[in-house]
Amino acid sequence: MYHIKRYLIFGAALLFVCILRLGILEGDYGQAAAFPGANLSLEDWNPLIAASVNEKKITVVIDSREYNSLETPIFMDNNLNIMVSAKILSEALKCSAHLYGENKLLVEKRNDTVWLALGDPAMTVNGKQHQMVSPMVKKKGHYYVSLPEVAKEIGYSFEWNMHKNQASAGDVSKLASVFPARYDLREKKRSGEVKNQEDTGMCWAFASLSAMESTLLPEESLQFSPDHMTFGNSFSVDVSEGGEYMMALAYLLAWQGPVFEKDDPFDGKAKLGLLPVKHVQEVQMMEGKDYEKIKEAVFRYGGVQTALYSSMGSGAKGSGFYNAKENAYCYIGTERPNHEVLIIGWDDNYPKENFPVNVEGNGAFICQNSWGDDFGEGGVFYVSYYDTTIGSHNVVYTKIEDTDNYDHIYQSDLCGWVGQIGFNQETVFGANVYTAKEEEELSAVGFYAAGKNTKYSIYLVRDFKDTHSLGEGKLIAEGCVENIGFYTVPAKSKGKGLLLEPGERYAVVLKLSTPEAVHPMAIEYAADEPTKDVDLTDGEGYISADGKRWDHVEDTFSCNLCIKAYTKDR
């Protein structure tokens, strides 16, 4: 009898799905119980319907960005909710989504706050209890949340198209660009420990690593080594001469670090030979004092590394631009930035009267310094929105991954983005040739976007012979990135075309189109004293205006192209 009942239920479910597909019934799957004659409960119907949905590719479109169950963890649960990995929420919903401990997820969008608890059907929104159809669940190492429930709470629409097996969500709030008037990562347990650079010029290293530590919080509380970043990079700079954020990026993106502070303590001595404990795969930059972008980055990702002109020496409290009583700073003048700090929040209503100089209005960024906790408010101070230099350049580390993400990195730009090259037009083609070490599979390609809204197309050329083969590559990825920065793009295509043999020479071809750019491609070359030792013998790169005629960049332009390849052993 059990088998007969099972087959009857399955047959009824199939009939119901067929009726749905024919359009006889309208609406979502939640109307299954109304089907006459089946006499089945939701407990019988829902698992069968969910199984039918999960057998096929599920597509989720959020604000025109598409995800699918073949590449991203997505499934329909037995309550007929579309469940998505919590990892995609920040990117997909442009919100803040962070895991606290092993069982609580905080999702924030504008002034909306949603707590999701593992195994608990209740959630708290703005202090009020809400009952969820489905709580957060953990499955095969991934945390999942109900997309329709979260979307509802943060002002997104949600629709399910049964014919396409597709869910759609979109931001319908009229407050899409509004952030809270005050936001402080310290209150969210997302700002790291305040450090002390003492009398060194290492603020750039402290600020960049503090930004990374903030990005990883609250899920991971780690301490990285400024000493290793300072002494373990590929630049020719005396530590007393200081540094800047592009040096930090080059070190991190080349996988030269970071390493733990406990393995290379802050003692002014180099401890080389250590392996990185994290891989930085994406960094975004906001230029031109775009305060809304800065706020969005802090809100979604964590602390933002920035620069300002400091009229104070390291740890000094005396300055005509600093009010030590209120921990308030504002520089008005023409000096260039000379100090790196970390933006960890903002206060739109911070009184203008607290600043020692006249400013037009209220408002300040909350900044974490590297002068120890005796400075300011436990190491934190307030910088006026009207400060001349704050926010002129800004860096946020948006993808920091474990070191098992890829097995090999192929690169020839250890000093990173030093300059740019192009043909006085928005589009340029570049190609780097590498030799596979083992039996590998090309997994991803990394590159810099030198301008906003950069479109890219990436091709793989197997068994590279000469420049004639550069036009015969297989398209493996394409898309567009909004912000300036470094991006790692996974290969979208699959199959034998990505498999590399030991000793095989292969080429990664990158087409970039950056609006209003004349030199869209980032390059490494000997531009000044810090980059005087750039090695041009470690690369084989080519550049083209049209993808047909190619020039060898090392010979013709004395540079390396900033195009990296990432592979996995097979």
Where are the chain's structural domains?
A: 1-55, 57-178, 182-396, 406-569
The model's pLDDT over 215-256, given as tens digits with 9 standing for 90+, comes to 999 999 999 999 999 999 999 987 767 889 999 999 999 999
3-state helix, strand, coil in the chain (%, to 5): 20, 35, 45
pLDDT at residue 535, rounded to an integer: 93
pLDDT at residue 116, rounded to an integer: 76
Q: How high is the mean pLDDT of the chain? A: 88
Q: How confident is the model at residue 419 (pLDDT cuts 50, 70, 90)?
A: very high
Q: In CATH terms, is domain 182-396 a member of 3.10.310.10?
A: no
Residue 419 has a CB neighbour count (10 Å cut-off) of: 16
pLDDT at residue 130, rounded to an integer: 53
Residue 153 has pLDDT above 90, yes or no: no
Give me 334's structure tokens.
């023409």
Give me 297's structure tokens.
């980055």
**Those residues with Cβ within 8 angstroms of residue 18's Cβ, 6 or more apart along the chain or in another chain:** none
Contact call for residues 151 and 173 (beta carbons, < 8 A): no
For 406-569, CATH gives 2.60.120
Q: How confident is the model at residue 31 (pLDDT cuts 50, 70, 90)?
A: very low
pLDDT at residue 237, rounded to an integer: 83
Q: How confident is the model at residue 190 (pLDDT cuts 50, 70, 90)?
A: very high
Among 557, 483, 488, 547, smallest CA distance to 523 is for 557
Residue 176 has pLDDT above 70, yes or no: no
Question: Which CATH superfamily is 57-178 part of?
Answer: Copper amine oxidase-like, N-terminal domain (3.30.457.10)
- What's CA 496's distance to the chain center, in Å? 29
pLDDT at residue 18, rounded to an integer: 45
Q: In what order do the strands lie in the sheet with 59-62?
A: 65-68, 59-62, 166-171, 156-161
Among 21, 11, 171, smallest CA distance to 94 is for 171
Lowest mean pLDDT among 93-97, 113-117, 292-296, 311-315: 311-315
Residue 114 has pLDDT above 80, yes or no: no
pLDDT at residue 444, rounded to an integer: 97
